[in-house]
Amino acid sequence: MSIIPTLPGITSKMVSTARLASHTLFSGPDDGEPVIFLHGNFSAATYWEETMLALPHRFRAIAPDLRGYGQTEALPIDATRGARDWADDLKALSDVLGNKPGHLVGWSMGAAAATQFALDYPQLTASLIFVNPVSPYGFGGTKDVVGTPCYDDYAGSGGGVVSPDFVRLIQAGDRSADDPNSPRNVMNNFYYKPPFRAAREDVFLDASLLQQTGEQAYPGDLTPSANWPNVAPGVWGPINAGSPKYFNSSAIANMPHKPPVLWIRGDADQIVSDNSFFDLGTLGQLGFVPGWPGVDVFPPQPMVSQTRAVLDLFAANGGRYQEVVIPDTGHSPHIERPDEFMRALLSFLT
């Protein structure tokens, strides 16, 4: 039974697997075609419920809380494996549920888990749906469309770049709107294009605040660096796991089995973009982080352009992908514009 209220038609279960106890939401018939929904950072499976219920009856919707998030068993995230802890957790969940090929829907950080799963378990991947996905070259510390690192030690990415005030407020369970760094303000100002507010804002916030924190969880540890901004990735936690030091999924362009890909994104995303407000290259250029070494050394990471370059190569090598841009929408098109999102998703799935 979930400690977070679920919508009618959603079933909450704690599923024991060979790797961990996975809190997972379900809807649709047990024998339906699986669609697996993977959430992003500072969120949980709860954010997918409306989308799950909007699927036609032929589909079985499955949405786990990923390791480090929600109500799933609190275990460390080995960042040196990139997204493989999440991919292997999904495989363990698949083992319990019957190992049927499924459609993987990855939102933001969840796209890293989905892509790694497709690379490691292609026989279980029917298709890939990316929703405002993290770049194939991870988050932070790269400077061109082929993911060249700004520094050899990948300084400017990983757990050390996360706002300590944001982490502190998560740990305090802060639900106010008093601080610009409060979880509620971050959610409303960056997950969505203001002035949008989600109908279940408080429930989403409750689910996000279950995020596990610490050196082996969020944001993870760090390594001091002589390079700007003087922090490089550590070896634990989800933000280090998403550093280009450990995560690189550009190999999907050359994978022998190429599942069809749908890429959906909001045109006003401030988190994953070519000028992300969460990227130190952007913040340094704007003067918010002192000592910025300049555009030649550490430009804003071209996240969207990196994704497009990899998918163009995927298509050139025999794959198929479609890009759908939803206007006037931020980082969460499935919540902000559910009708347009579902039209794109169902057109692709059916």
Strand, coil or helix: 131? strand
Strand, coil or helix: 86? helix
Q: What is the pLDDT of residue 131?
A: 98
Q: Which helix (H) or strand (E) holds 344?
A: helix 338-349
* Dist. CA 142–CA 76, nearest whole Å: 26
- Give, in degrees to the nearest 5, the angle at Cα 170 between 167 and 175: 140
Strand, coil or helix: 183? helix
Please name which of 231, 213, 215 lies closest in space to residue 223, comparing C-alpha atoms.
231
Q: What is the pLDDT of residue 2?
A: 80
* Dist. CA 322–CA 258, nearest whole Å: 13
The count of C-alpha atoms lying within 13 angstroms of the C-alpha of 93, restricted to the half-sphere facing its C-beta, is 30
Q: Report yes or no: 147 and 248 within 8 Å, Cβ to Cβ.
A: yes
Helices 84-97 and 109-120 cross at an angle (nearest 10°) of: 70
Length of the chain equals 350
19 by Cβ neighbours in 10 Å (0-12 / 13-18 / 19+) ranks as middle
**Where do the domains of the chain lie?**
11-143+241-349
- Give, in degrees to the nearest 5, the angle at Cα 268 between 118 and 345: 40
Please state which of the four CATH numbers 3.10.580.10, 1.10.645.10, 3.40.50.300, 3.40.50.1820 is assigned to the domain occupying 11-143+241-349: 3.40.50.1820
* Dist. CA 323–CA 4, nearest whole Å: 33
* Dist. CA 203–CA 209, nearest whole Å: 10
pLDDT tens digits, the chain, 350 residues: what are they? Answer: 589 999 999 999 999 999 999 999 999 999 999 999 999 999 999 999 999 999 999 999 999 999 999 999 999 999 999 999 999 999 999 999 998 999 999 999 999 999 999 999 999 999 999 999 999 999 999 999 999 999 999 999 999 999 999 999 999 999 999 999 999 999 999 999 999 999 999 999 999 999 999 999 999 999 999 999 999 999 999 999 999 999 999 999 999 999 999 999 999 999 999 999 999 999 999 999 999 999 999 999 999 999 999 999 999 999 999 999 999 999 999 999 999 999 999 999 98
Cis peptide before 238 (omega within 30 of 0): no
Q: What is the pLDDT of residue 1?
A: 59
Strand, coil or helix: 16? strand
